[in-house]
Amino acid sequence: MRSDRTKVGIDRAPARALMYGTGMPESSMGRAHIGICSSFTDLIPGHVGMRDLERYIEKGVHTGGGHSSIFCVPGICDGIAMGHIGMHYSLPSRDAIADMIECVVEAHALDGVVFLTNCDKITPGMLMAAARLNIPSIVVTAGPMATGSYRMQKRSFIKDTFENMAKCRTGEISEDEMKNIEQCACPGQGACQGLFTANTMACLTEAMGMSLPGCGMALAGSGKKRRIAFDSGVAICELVEKDIKARDILNENAFRNAVMLDMALGGSTNTALHLPAIAYEAKVPFTLDLFDEYSKNTPHITSINPGGEFFMEDVDAAGGIPAFQYRLRDRLFDNPTVCGRTIKEIANSAIVYDDDIVRPLDNPYHKEGGIAVLRGNIAQGGAVVKQSAVNADMLQFTGTAVCFDSEEAAMDAIKNRQIVNGQVVVIRYEGPKGGPGMREMLAPTAEIMGQGLNKVALITDGRFSGGTRGPCIGHISPEAAEGGDIGLICDGDKIVIDIPGRTINLDVPAEELEKRRAAWVKPAPKITKGYLAKYASRVSNAAQGAICRVEDL
């Protein structure tokens, strides 16, 4: 066992003494040493219930014959960090989490790890660490939040808070009404109720085979989730005994299956950052083109909030991820999973309990998958849009540019009613390097939707939440801070968006662009100290997953 390097032989007497100091019994010296990497924190509703799940994982590890030890990593809630300097830290925290896990697991020579996670950047950070370390690993996502209720209507975080801000500002709803709604929108523990980034990544983790069947959608706080946590503790011991490592599962087939499920679900555009980052650590080739390859031939077969009508609890009741695997069973690549059954075995044994929530492939909500990759003179390296959340009449759009060099400047203009239908809001210098940290633009998009501006597009070298809906195109690469042409757009320019044609172009003569490019001056960094400055100096562009690559050092 890996842990033998800390506990076997006379030279390890000091290490054993320290382990005994933790209360470890002598009988556990011969057991597999299993880490429970928990992201428990009181700061995030998706994580407040993890103390309970830690107990159930511990029970499972003990039942499976191992000895478990909990260690923790931090978590950031995008919804709380949004709209101020805090959001600069969200995406960079993903790489910090992976680094911290590497430090602990290697220093303590753990034999295997159960990763207890839930929210946006924490799940991919843990998967990056699992792939990098390549030891037996299993992921337990803590689960979606139940929907709220107010005045006999289902309520959810995005649509009932962000989009209602504009209505409150205009007097459409009162401040008292807003207060009542915000106290009901998030009724308890769990990740936000729709198919936002946290729940999308939970679903794709299961689709890749790194979580037990049913884990991705099982509600937070439920008995089902506790049972999955217990069973995951047992399973990690079996994975250690059989020496099944993370990369045995996280191979090319796993990533293809994940992208296919993502298209069928209509998941968050942030997967276009996270899957390439995990694939990099797993040493699996991965480009944005994979999203478009599957988007063009994988139908979108459900309708999940925020772009649709169903919530995670509805989709879980309809059969969860196995139900989608059943629909896609003839297309999926067979592959091992942490439960011991293969992807095909899980898919073939699944049951679909509702043919409208999880539709057959020949009766989809949309013929194409949820995400489209656009290219053009604005985005030579690519850009992404959640096309399943765009109204049909906005899939092709030509508008007049109105440009902002920060999210704050754009938000001020939107709140002050300076944006009108027919415009394309351009928010730049918010990419991985320029932000730094590639901030999420949910607040501006929600404000636009809340004002009823249904003929406005928004493009950015920043990113969007899974909660964004409408013609919002992000991850534009190369970003403005590295000389990308999004930095050359001027107010009044025409921007032509063709989502079905997969293009986004600035309608300006090439010679004019060359003049602007020659006159462009790289701006000074927005942040010059601490972790963000180090991150900005190392991070790759969005098309590569906004990762800190070893080969770039």
Which residue ranges make up the annotated binding site for Mg(2+)? Answer: 78, 120-121, 440
Residues 6+ apart with CB under 8 A from 124: 94, 201, 273, 274, 277, 278
Q: What is the DSSP string of 115-169?
A: EEE-STTHHHHHHHHHHHHTSSEEEEE--BPPPEEETTEEE-HIIIIIHHHHHHH
Do the bridges between strand 494-498 and strand 472-477 make them parallel or antiparallel, or are there none, so unpaired? unpaired
* Residue numbers belonging to the annotated binding site: 78, 120-121, 440
Residues in a beta bridge with 477: 382
CA 451 to chain centre: 27
d(CA 247, CA 335): 12
Active-site hit among 3, 211, 465, 477: 465
C-beta of residue 110 within 8 angstroms of C-beta of residue 135: yes
Active-site residue flag, 465: yes
Q: Calculate the alpha carbon distances from 370 to 28, 49, 299, 505 in Å.
A: 48, 31, 8, 21
For residue 553, give the amino acid letter. L
CA separation (Å) from 63 to 153, 193, 231, 237? 43, 33, 9, 9
Helix ranges, 296-435 (H): 312-317, 320-327, 343-349, 407-415
Separation of alpha carbons 206 and 343, rounded Å: 10
User: How many residues would you count in the chain?
Assistant: 553
Q: How far apart are CA 89 and CA 93, in angstroms?
A: 6
Q: Which residues contact 79 (CB under 8 A, 6 or more apart)?
A: 157, 192
Cα angle 396-398-399, degrees, rounded to a multiple of 5: 135
Residues annotated as catalytic are 465
